[in-house]
Chains A and B, each alone.
Chain A
Amino acid sequence: MEFILNDKAIRTDKPGGMTLLDFIRYDNHLTGTKIGCREGDCGACTVLVGELLEGRINYKSMTSCITPLANVRGKHVVTIEGLNMEALSPVQQAFVETGGTQCGFCTAGFIVSLSGYCMSGKEPEYNDGISAIDGNICRCTGYKSIERATALVIEKLAEKDVNDPVSWLVNEKFIPKYFLEIPKKLMVLKLANQSPNGHEEGLPKVGGGTDLYVQRPDDMVTGNVHAFYDVPALNNITLKDGQCRLGGEVTVSDLMDSKAFNHLFPNLKKHLKLVSSTQIRNMGTIAGNFVNASPIGDLTIFFLALDSVLTLSKTGGASRKVRLQEFYLGYKKLDLGHDEIVEFIEFSLLDDTTYFNFEKVSKRKYLDIASVNTAIRIKENNGNIEAIHASAGGVGPTPLYLTKTCAYLQGKALTPENIRSAVECLNEDISPISDVRGSKDYKALLLRQLFFAHFIELFPEKFEMEVLV
């Protein structure tokens, strides 16, 4: 496989399942990329991965510790070394200025994430700058100096040319000159590298890798993989005929960046920001979230409440449909054949009287796994619940569709009394256990609260906590 690492063309026969981190640190001796956790939770190994799209390169930050080498085929990988110039860049300078680095072990990750943000074609905004480093953990600074550094960087970006950020950044000495040549080089690479990515059956299947490489890295890192991440047919978001269809390899970031999807869910950014971190959202795919079968998968809970339908297909053609709520047979048990993949997912579009909400509480609000998460979709008609779909995670062996609760509320008036009495059904729907994310009593109480929160959020004029409890 071929790709570009900083300013250097790489051709390697290393196994596709190897982590990008090991390739960078140990095969290429680029030690600025650090190992902190090897599970995507600290950001010390953050790199930028640039993909050629319509003649321009779209750079995304990723944690190289859980990125399979196969997923950077034909792309531009940038490490801290690839950002260094003779003088410090304004991003680097800002961290020096504000004391944004203490022990320094996490620093390169921050610099890479924030430099990646600079390269985006978006108007500079302080909050977006902070978002870009939300997957980078620092144990020394308490982040205040890093916030000050980010503010300085945003100031320096004020004049950025959003139409051609890379040239502007090169001129302003944010990034080295060689970046200008990368699109051309990648184009050549792409041409020379047209062999289909994947279809190597029998190998472990991998999408974004964000969960597989956390759960069982040792099974992955020495061999090749059947990589789906870059299959174009699996990357589409389409809205047509009252249906929304998402390819299995659509990432969380793809959803967040999709205008159409944001239009469908006005609170989308708020909701999806609760899902992991920028780096992981750039890699994690919806199909991966479904097949991981975690009882607490955020996207699974999100799409369960949309009453989504999966299309599963075998390599070679045959496909079938299964409702997401019927996809989970037991703890980590799926209605998915060995030779099947999740090709796409569909749900019916929301109309003006259909409301959607997602709630999640975890020990740490962001970049954490939920103690409990829940989503709801309600169609209201003259103060009545015409249709309702609700889901909850962390309260059973699988991601739960709240069957009894939905059945109970279907057709009922949207009143505090009805919602309050639905709690009985809610408790019948769930079977929480005590674990590191909370005791079973807490999870039951929390789900009740978040269930109430749906109604308080969606119909604030009708519901208040005091009336519900």
Chain B
Amino acid sequence: MKNIDSKGHVRGESIYLDDIPVRVGTLYGDIFDAPCAHGKIKRVDYSEAEQLPGVVKILTFKDIPGENQIGGIFPDEPLFAEDEVHFWGMPIALILAETEFVARQARKLIRIDIDELPPIVDPREAKAKGSLIFPPRTFKLGEVEQAWEQCDYVFEGSADSEGQEHLYIETQGAYAYQMENGNVRIASSTQGPTAVQRTVAKVLGIPMHKVEVDVTRLGGGFGGKEDQATAWGVMAALAATLLKKPVKIVLHRMDDMRMTGKRHPYKSDFKIGLNKDLKICAYEVAFYQNAGAAADLSPAVMERTLFHATNSYYIPNVTATAYSCKTHLPPNTAFRGFGGPQGMFVIESAIAKAAKELGVAAHEIQQQNLLKDGDEFPYGQIVEHAEAHSTWAKVCDKFDLEALKEEIEAFNANHKHLKKGMALQPVCFGISFTNTAMNNARALVHIYSDGSVGVSTGAVEMGQGVNTKMLQVAANAFSIDPCKVKLETTNTTRVANTSPSAASSTADLNGKALQIACDKLLERLKQTAAKVLKTDVAHISLHDDRVYCKSEPSELSWEQLVQAAFLDRVCLTENGHYATPVIHFDKTKEKGHPFAYHVYGTAIFVVTVDCIRGTYEFDAVKLVHDFGKSMNESIDLGQIEGGLVQGIGWMTMEELKYSKEGKLLSNALSTYKIPDIYSVPKEIQVEALESDGHEMAIKKSKAVGEPPLMYGLGAYFAIQNAVKVYNPDYQLKFDAPFTPEKVLTALYERTNVSVPGV
């Protein structure tokens, strides 16, 4: 089934936040933000701005009736700065004007007097100064200290990965208006409607039931609208309530890039021990997460870094420690992979380093250590249904790794200025929110008396196709034509207390809840059918919009059945609640069974580096992915291709640059480059691993949102391998992204010889 939203998309008729028809009297909000990364506010002069015709009001922390607090996990983030600013772009005031243009002009008229304080931008510096968001955590398996002595080889090094801007093409925004009795309704471009609702209630000092949040769809999220959509929703609701006018806030791109957090940059130190047979026997790693100025989702992101510190490998002795370092960058946040990719980059770097030192190919070490059933993850979960070996074997076989290697060697021998590099990238990603409590969802199903069906869940559609998957679940449960099912907007008054659409779990959790609701309705409808057809309920089934009795079509169509139930006063509305069974995690021991299941896959990368110019092109990425039993191949393929390319972007051209003072330099699409149509691999081949799927995956169709992003790590190592061929003097560095600048520098670095001309 094709994506049900695509027809609206290709006609430009789908409704995004900024497309909602504007109500009469709407005011437009623009945010005045901190002009430095760290400082004490001495004075802010709003007088000139307030006098600009069209300016209605400028709101600051003083206008907040409830708490000036939007922190999701820890209460450490004010909505508006009070006396100190902690990052460049921190909101200080909200300007409300009759037009967006006037609001923006007014912003330029605000004068601020600030005593600048030295900022910290580097996480190692923060750690050294004791500036941590919360205490460090350590995951342990075996005894690393004792294991070093038994290792034949031990190597140490460091590996850094930079952040990543989400660059959803639709910027952040919200549109709020007051309802009667002081209630407020907010249309928000958020992945977490409940977070917006909860925070609006807190800031306004009103109960949650007075706040309604509605989400139609997002123009991309990728994690960037999980926690960071909240501030704008709260500001709009605050202004709408105080001024009793509709208020719209849609961020300009440069404001969005400056004010919002990104994928966490990490710095890390590793030590890896191997035996002669290339088995990794010990791994020690310290992660320094650059959390930015407030916690945001950093604790959860850091936790996932620890969970995925050993990627697809079994290592018997592991000590992984992570520090969430408080710096003066905007609070970094969720981004597809959620800390997992940063953790995996370090183990892959350690393997690459060991391989170089031992004179073997990295894939020999990778292959020797793949997970198998019965192995233990450092967090205590025992590996079940491992597909690390099977995806590896299939990718090597299907795409003939040996022939590929020969081809590359021959090419490199025959080309002086072009060199090819190859890398294999296995991925193992755990599915569930690592915070066990969040693994629940609800769905509300109405069957209307004409047989049409309305479905509400907590899932937010942001391009991942969850609407389509939900529709499939409902249409399938009732065995009716999908056109009879409508997916409603995601709304906190219909489905409450939701977890955000995140952790790749949205379809699983909401789908299971929906399945439960549909099953209950189906059971009631079957009873009606049995009554009408005067038979036993056990003989009733539904197929293709018709009631079947003893496997024979009856005279009763779906519509007639629904009508009969309606007249018989049967309840045609049902709510389903699902909480993932089995999972648990004990943070005091850092052990448990946090994931419902794992998703596996292996990718092969081939890149060609232009050794004159330091540029590169990916010839091909070929991968075998464990979809389980995909319930929608078109959508799932789209997630693989899109996630892969986003991961390649992170590893190659997407370079977030901050000045020493903590100012974002790559602050627009002209300076922060994401992949365009020409920069993606010429060929992407995706093969499905035929597996049984998992009972805890919706319809045994495994979660597919985040795992493919991590294939992108292979891009880094493929480029590195090509560089090594051209320049034997090159000293391996693990410092993503591998920009053309780093490639050219690596191609021409010489041991103890300065490069001529430089």
Contact = CB atoms under 8 A, between A and B. Distances in A.
A192 interface: no
A399 B111 CA distance: 36
A255 interface: no
A242 interface: no
Interface stretch (B547-555, B678-686, B715-723): B678-686
B101 A218 contact: yes
A36 B741 contact: no
B758 interface: yes
B220 A140 contact: yes
A362 B16 CA distance: 33
A386 interface: no
Interface of B: 2-3, 5-16, 18-19, 21, 101, 104-105, 166-171, 217-222, 250, 252-253, 416-417, 462-465, 611-615, 617, 634-635, 637-638, 641-646, 653, 655, 657, 665-666, 668-671, 673-680, 684, 739-741, 744-745, 748, 755-758
Contacts of A108: 9-12
A144 B675 contact: no
A103 B120 CA distance: 36
Nearest to B463: A103
Given A449-B614, A453-B613, 18 more contacts: A34-B16, A34-B18, A34-B169, A95-B6, A96-B3, A99-B638, A100-B6, A103-B463, A104-B14, A140-B463, A142-B638, A142-B646, A361-B615, A361-B740, A438-B741, A442-B741, A445-B748, A448-B757
15 contacts: A80-B11, A102-B464, A104-B9, A105-B169, A105-B219, A107-B9, A111-B12, A136-B677, A137-B676, A139-B169, A140-B638, A142-B675, A436-B665, A465-B416, A465-B417
B607 to A, nearest CB: 14
Interface stretch (A39-47, A163-171, A193-201, A332-340): A39-47
Contacts of B10: 88, 91-93, 95-96, 101, 107-108, 111
Contacts of A39: 253, 668-670
B487 to A, nearest CB: 14
A37 interface: yes
Contacts of A363: 653, 655, 673, 739-741
B744 A102 contact: no
A104 B5 contact: yes
Nearest to B685: A144
Interface string A361-386: 11111111101000000000000000
B416 A145 contact: no
B220 A99 contact: no
A359 B615 CA distance: 12
Contact of B744 (A44, A100, A130, A445): A445
A290 B645 CA distance: 36
Contacts of A80: 11-12
A446 B744 contact: yes
B18 A441 contact: no
A464 interface: yes
Contacts of A365: 615, 617, 678-679
B744 A449 contact: yes
Contact of B101 (A34, A95, A96, A221): A221
A426 interface: yes
B3 A99 contact: yes
Interface in A4-54: 29, 31-39, 41-42, 44
**Among A36, A81, A222: residue with most chain B CB under 10 A:** A36
Contacts of B740: 361-363, 371
Contacts of A140: 220, 463, 638, 642
A214 interface: yes
A33 B19 CA distance: 10
Given A31-B18, A446-B744, A137 B645 contact: no
A181 interface: no
Contact of B668 (A41, A448, A450): A41
A297 to B, nearest CB: 13
A259 to B, nearest CB: 25
Contacts of B166: 139
Nearest to B611: A465
A305 interface: no
B676 A144 contact: no
Contacts of A96: 2-3, 6-7, 10
A222 B168 contact: no
A88 B740 CA distance: 42
Given A34-B169, A449-B744, A469-B748, A423 B757 contact: yes
Contacts of B674: 137, 139
B26 to A, nearest CB: 12
Instruction: List the 6 closest A-B pairs by CB distance, nearest first.
Output: A32-B12, A103-B463, A105-B219, A104-B9, A142-B645, A80-B12
Nearest to A31: B19
Interface residues of A, number: 88
Contacts of B9: 95, 101, 104, 107-108
B448 to A, nearest CB: 27
A141 interface: yes
Contact of B741 (A84, A104, A371): A371
A139 B641 CA distance: 11
A139 B170 CA distance: 10
A134 B679 CA distance: 10
A458 to B, nearest CB: 13
A365 to B, nearest CB: 6
A34 B170 contact: yes
A147 B611 contact: no
Nearest to A435: B665
A81 B684 CA distance: 33
A18 to B, nearest CB: 10
Nearest to B665: A436
Interface string A444-461: 111011101100100000
A38 to B, nearest CB: 6
B613 A450 contact: yes
B741 A364 contact: no
A178 interface: no
Nearest to B22: A26
Contacts of B645: 141-143
A145 B12 contact: no
Contacts of B221: 103
Contacts of A371: 740-741
**Among A97, A103, A137: residue with most chain B CB under 10 A:** A103
Contacts of A450: 613
A137 B669 contact: yes
A439 B741 CA distance: 8
A445 B755 contact: yes
A445 B746 CA distance: 11
Contacts of B104: 218
Contacts of A402: none
A283 interface: no
Contacts of A95: 6, 9-10
Nearest to A444: B758
Contact of B219 (A79, A84, A103, A426): A103
Contacts of B679: 364-366
Interface in A65-94: 79-81, 84, 88, 91-93
Interface string A410-426: 00000000000001001
Contacts of B15: 31
A395 interface: no
Given A39-B668, A92-B11, A367-B676, A102 B168 contact: no
A137 B417 CA distance: 31
A427 interface: yes
Contacts of B641: 141-145
B11 A32 contact: yes
Contacts of B634: 99
Contacts of B252: 38
A102 B466 CA distance: 10
A315 B638 CA distance: 55
Nearest to B222: A139
A409 interface: no
Contacts of A293: none
